Amino acid sequence: MGATRRILVTGSAGFIGHHLVLALQQYGHTVVGIDSLNSYYDPQLKYKRLEQQGFCIPSAAPETLIQSIKSPNLYFQQLDISDAAALEQLFASQEFDVVVNLAAQAGVRHSIDHPEEYVTSNLVGFANVLECSRRHQIKHLLFASSSSVYGLNKQTPFSTSHCTDAPISFYAATKKANEVMAHSYAHLYGIPTTGLRFFTVYGPWGRPDMAYYSFAKAIVAGTPIRIFNHGDMLRDFTYVDDVVESIVRLVDVRPEANPVPFKLYNIGNHKPEQLLSMVAILERLLQRKARLDLQSMQPGDVQTTYADVEELAKATGITPQTTLEEGLEQFVAWFREYHGVPALAVP
């Protein structure tokens, strides 16, 4: 690792953000996390993540920068990146070296019925992050993109050199827009900028709307699991610790101006798995059978994701390698504890 830095992580009460701030502060960086704490899913999960980081949010004054009781170099403030004035005030007071933008309205299916939320967070909010990064001469901006930008691309594995001009969900369209917006700022203002195309991230403290998490809850409750495309789905499941280690290493890998200081990376496991294989592993770990409700393909969804991670390996020296079984074992152990799910007695 390089020198310690002062790093802003947006979306720090989110799934990946939670794991990232803990990792960065362990490396000695001073980390300021911000999050809007919206109600897209149960905010109690976000509060619990923040408790793990050493913050007691209900007792803190809203919109006040507070210090973790567990780590002297970890801070949090409730702040929405779509609030340009508040974001500017934070940047002006903190003198960040690096920004990692993970704040976004997530979810392919949610974007079908609520596109306005994606405009506010993913477009307006990200434009505010870009402007603050420009005005305050950030040394490296990293931002979350998504494998969704590949749309109906049939060429596998997905490479960052492939065309991504035909997204099939509005969520994917906003992520593609983020890449184009960031490239223009890198070109115009010389901001070293790195885009991170995440592939189906999973693990402990995940989002309840994600497939693996919602499947686990349904299996335990004995309710049907909706499986789209009649189960013929391949996903490049990527364990959250592998994702976080990739980001931590990329913080020190600033793109060179060749001719623009901008670089995209796939953050994936490079090993697509059948969706039904994931269900089978969850059944075994939870000691319960799933009830399957096989349906046709959902609008905005794709059949296969598969990451080419050669560029990531060159830049960081690592390739995500956690197997789906290993990762789900970690998730289910956390899931049992968090939701109070007992193990069944072996007959």
Active-site residues: which are they? 171
Nearest to 184 by CA among 124, 138, 119, 130: 130
CA distance 47 to 36: 11
Q: Which two tokens stand for residue 190?
A: 């010389």
Q: What's the Cα-to-Cα distance from 200 to each of 19, 89, 259, 262, 329, rounded to whole Å?
A: 16, 34, 31, 23, 17
Regarding beta strands 201-202 and 238-239, do their DSSP bridges make them parallel or antiparallel, or are they unpaired? parallel
**Three-state secondary structure of 268-281:** CCCCCEEHHHHHHH
Give 226's DSSP letter.
E
Q: Which two tokens stand for residue 43?
A: 């905010």
- Total residue count of the chain as it appears in this document: 347
- Contact predicate 198/242, CB 8 Å: no
